[in-house]
Chains A and B, each alone.
Chain A
Amino acid sequence: KQEVTQIPAALSVPEGENLVLNCSFTDSAIYNLQWFRQDPGKGLTSLLLIQSSQREQTSGRLNASLDKSSGRSTLYIAASQPGDSATYLCAVRPVDSSYKLIFGSGTRLLVRP
């Protein structure tokens, strides 16, 4: 059974720091991995989608990497800003149950001014 884990559960950093959020999954048989951002009381906003054949994707200050064989993905946020404060979720799409995403429990990020 596929399980997705995100560590740490919460993170507080001063503005301007570069930071890394971690996501690990137990079964490497996935089609893709997607990173989301969720603000309090809001829906999930898609940040980056990495297909299983790709190693990384970049969007602005965000860079996500995927190492499928080791079951790991990282989301790198450069020059963090208070507006980056949110909960970040990763999710994988398993090959054996491709109709759904399996979500991690998220990392709650606070960027202090």
Chain B
Amino acid sequence: DAEITQSPRHKITETGRQVTLACHQTWNHNNMFWYRQDLGHGLRLIHYSYGVQDTNKGEVSDGYSVSRSNTEDLPLTLESAASSQTSVYFCASSEGQFFGELFFGEGSRLTVL
């Protein structure tokens, strides 16, 4: 079955360290997204991509970056982790820019000490 996998599922890091969260999907979807989920804020979009070499900022992109070198992967990098970036991060993908169903990974729980 096609799926979307995230790694690591849990990570603890220190303030100032660089962290990369991996996302890999086997649906061959063009569109990929990164969201963060926080109590009181719900799900918020960090970055998204409509295809290889395309990346765009979402509503909470400061301190994060992504790159899209192939269809299957969209890694999320925290350049210098901050305590405010402690959160659960979800990767998602869809086919069809406006009408496609969105599918989510299992999430990566990041704690920044």
Interface residues of A (CB under 8 A from B): 31-32, 34, 36, 41-46, 49, 51, 89, 91, 93, 98-101, 103-106
Contacts and interface: CB of A to CB of B under 8 A. Distances in A.
Given A104-B42, A105-B42, A99 B48 contact: yes
Given A42-B107, A49-B101, 15 more contacts: A31-B99, A32-B99, A34-B102, A43-B106, A91-B102, A93-B98, A98-B97, A99-B45, A99-B58, A99-B97, A100-B58, A100-B59, A101-B43, A103-B42, A103-B43
Contact of A43 (B45, B48, B98, B104): B104
Listed from nearest, the 5 A-B pairs whose CB atoms lie closest are: A44-B104, A43-B106, A43-B104, A100-B45, A49-B101
Given A42-B107, A103-B42, A34 B98 contact: no
Contacts of A41: 107
A34 B45 CA distance: 16
Contacts of A43: 90, 104-107
